[in-house]
Structure 1
Amino acid sequence: MSALCEATGADVSQVSYAVGIDTRIGPKFLNASVGFGGSCFQKDILNLVYICECNGLPEVAEYWKQVIKINDYQKNRFVNRVVASMFNTVANKKVAILGFAFKKDTGDTRETPAIDVCKGLLGDKARLSIYDPQVAEDQIQRDLTMKKFDWDHPLHLQPMSPTTVKQVSNVWDAYEATKDAHAVCILTEWDEFKTLDFQRIYDNMQKPAFIFDGRNIVNPAKLREIGFIVYSIGKPLDAWLEDMPAVA
């Protein structure tokens, strides 16, 4: 839905509000993001796929597989937006990653979308500076070097080489993470990110300065007043971004 909103100039927050007015649905779990994570949701869906296949329901199993695939699509779309917006390459550019846990108020990184986003950026040779208030450096390093199961290619595993991980630094301060960065990616909705001094961040970043908000926690209008080029999931794009190459 966020992809459709961006393509049509709509605001995904307004769509979420309108759908949530129906009390049979409610407003919970309708917020758009860079993708879902956690230990349960994907595992439970895959269990459902297995049960359907075992009971001779391949069409139903395929339906539920698409939930996993669209989640992967959302993460890939975010990475593609970052790369396309930054002149089609992030090679040797510093990208600050704010948040690595799959949701705020936890240090849990199981199935966090940050893993795939970081791997996608590293694949284009970006230099990452990662800050999360509760995730330890060794956990981030393990997650980025972990082999990932590819649903479409069951025998294909995707490890991240130790050489590539050298492009990653872990810091314990959001201002240090964003210093001299070309872009900021917000991947976890930590409350502290809402109250950061973005003028200070902008002054210490490379120009043009980009913010890619994967959780819709910042005010795009205020950031644009400061001078940032802003992309927020499911929100109308900057005119500058609209002129960039299309992102799937």
Structure 2
Amino acid sequence: MRLTVIGTGYLGATHAICMAVMGYEVLGVDVDTTKIEKLASGEVPFFEPGLPELLTKALESGRLRFSTSFQEAAEFGDVHFICVGTPQQKDSEAADMTYVDAAVTSLAPHLTRRTLVVGKSTVPVGTADRLAGLLHELAPAGTDVELAWNPEFLREGFAVDDTMKPDRMVFGVTTAWAEEQLRAAFEPVLAQGVPVKVTDLKTAELVKVAANSFLATKISYINAMAEICEATGADVHDLAEALAYDERIGGKFLRPGLGFGGGCLPKDIRAFAHRAEELGVGQAVGFLREIDGINRRRRARTVDLVVELCGGVVEGKKVAALGAAFKPNSDDIRDAPALDVAASLHRMGAHVVVYDPAAMDNARRVHPELTYAVNALDAARDADVVVLLTEWNEFRDISPEVIGAVARQTKIVDGRHALVPAEWRAAGWEYRALGRP
């Protein structure tokens, strides 16, 4: 079986590389020639631990190639994976289906034999039925072209493991043949005992957005408790630990702090709420609006803590911002809380110096008004306040004595509850964190 992967962004490139390493012949297809040229030369155009080494291995094996030709893809592939992005529309909370529709309408006219097209992109429920109609209308093979849905569950920073040994697979299909093709396309994965849920197209479309909505709810729940703790003098960190002992609740995603960002959770919960309203069941997920609101408020409250440590005025003060990516082990700055806080402080007149181990180039491109350092100590030099915004291990492990020797004032806001307050206070730091006394 030969596979094509349409779209070579974060999802598509990871999927293509990993499937080739697992033994399949794979053709990655994209309309972006620069991206294709980079991948073909062995360069991964984004930060993801372990993936560059696998790209080298896949290219050397001869099983992975890249192209901009949809005709070549149609002739080559037995199963075609649609892995393009579905960003939020500029003038709406709805998902932008431009790239998904373009992928299908570009591929379909070249499909002349029985084949399976598999959607992996996160889309509004009902999209698969519409795309199946497009395929049958535009493909010379007509109804011999079938559509299935196989949502992705990648975590940035762990995408290789999540591709090669996921915690589950979901196959949304309409025929036994489509299920057989998917099982053949993922044979090395399924051989490891990975559980499979076979369902209809609509349920498969809903799984990803439902999962992300649940995770966003859990994150925002503990951050709502942080707001209560700030009003009462309680400690949200201790509260979260106490809740985590309840096995019905668990500790995962129950970490208070600056909140979530990135290219998935924020836009997915907004698109989900928007789609529910279109279907006339908006009240069922109306709570997602408040989840989004709680998440946004954490950013504003982090700015407030910095202002408080500056004596009420940040204008003219130097702030060291440790972190720019939305999470560690990633260079993704989409809807990044860290950069949102840094940019807000800059607009208030602070001199903000940013350092991130992986996201510096992306941050500079989007926020050229900020100043950028070469390392954490460089960022903290002569700082009036240090604010930890992305919980990279190198920030967790930094010595309060060492950074205190270069800062102008030993004041820190721990936006991620990543530090041990007692250690920093013992070293003479004034320590503040969301939801902590």
TM-score, normalization by structure 2: 0.47
> Max radius of gyration: which structure?
2
Q: CA deviation at 1:200?
A: 2.2
Residue 212 of structure 1 corresponds to which residue in structure 2?
413
> Unaligned 5+ residue runs, structure 2?
1-224
> Is 1:188–2:390 an aligned residue pair?
yes
2:227 partner SS: helix
> Is 1:70–2:294 an aligned residue pair?
yes
- State the AA in 2 paired with 1:93: K
Residue 147 of structure 1 corresponds to which residue in structure 2?
none
Q: CA deviation at 1:36?
A: 0.6
The separation in 1 between residues aligned to 2:255 and 2:235, in whole angstroms, is 11
Q: CA deviation at 1:42?
A: 1.1
Q: CA deviation at 1:203?
A: 2.1
> Is 1:18–2:219 an aligned residue pair?
no
- State the AA in 1 paired with 2:268: D
> Is 1:228–2:426 an aligned residue pair?
no
Residue 140 of structure 1 corresponds to which residue in structure 2?
363
Residue 373 of structure 2 corresponds to which residue in structure 1?
171
4+ aligned runs moved over 4 Å, structure 1 = none
Considering Cα pairs closer than 8 Å and 6+ residues apart, tell me whether 1 or 2 has the greater RCO. Answer: 1
Residue 201 of structure 1 corresponds to which residue in structure 2?
403
The separation in 1 between residues aligned to 2:303 and 2:274, in whole angstroms, is 30
Residue 150 of structure 1 corresponds to which residue in structure 2?
none
- State the AA in 2 paired with 1:213: D
The separation in 1 between residues aligned to 2:366 and 2:284, in whole angstroms, is 32
Deviations 1:99-120 (A, max 9, x none): 1111111111111101210121
Deviations 1:179-215 (A, max 9, x none): 00001010111111122122122122113x2100001
Give the alignment of 1:43-192 within 5 angstroms.
Answer: 43-137=267-361, 139-144=362-367, 165=369, 168-192=370-394
The separation in 1 between residues aligned to 2:420 and 2:284, in whole angstroms, is 40
The separation in 2 between residues aligned to 1:16 and 1:222, in whole angstroms, is 20
The separation in 1 between residues aligned to 2:366 and 2:256, in whole angstroms, is 24
> Unaligned 5+ residue runs, structure 1?
145-161, 237-248
1:211 partner SS: strand
Kept in 2: contact 1:50–1:61 (CA 8 A): no
Deviations 1:74-127 (A, max 9, x none): 111111121133111111111001111111111111111012101210121111
Q: CA deviation at 1:58?
A: 4.2
2:377 partner SS: helix
1:51 partner SS: helix
Identity of aligned residues (%): 37
- State the AA in 2 paired with 1:186: L
2:319 partner SS: strand
Kept in 1: contact 2:301–2:434 (CA 8 A): no
What is the number of equivalent residue pairs in this alignment? 213
1:73 partner SS: helix
Deviations 1:41-70 (A, max 9, x none): 112101211122112234345421111111
- State the AA in 1 paired with 2:386: V
2:238 partner SS: helix
- State the AA in 1 paired with 2:242: A
What's the RMSD between the two structures over aligned residues? 1.6
TM-score, normalization by structure 1: 0.81
Residue 42 of structure 1 corresponds to which residue in structure 2?
266
Kept in 2: contact 1:133–1:172 (CA 8 A): no
Q: Which stretch of structure 1 is more off in the superposition, 55-64 or 95-104? A: 55-64
2:272 partner SS: helix
The separation in 1 between residues aligned to 2:290 and 2:366, in whole angstroms, is 24
Kept in 1: contact 2:309–2:385 (CA 8 A): no
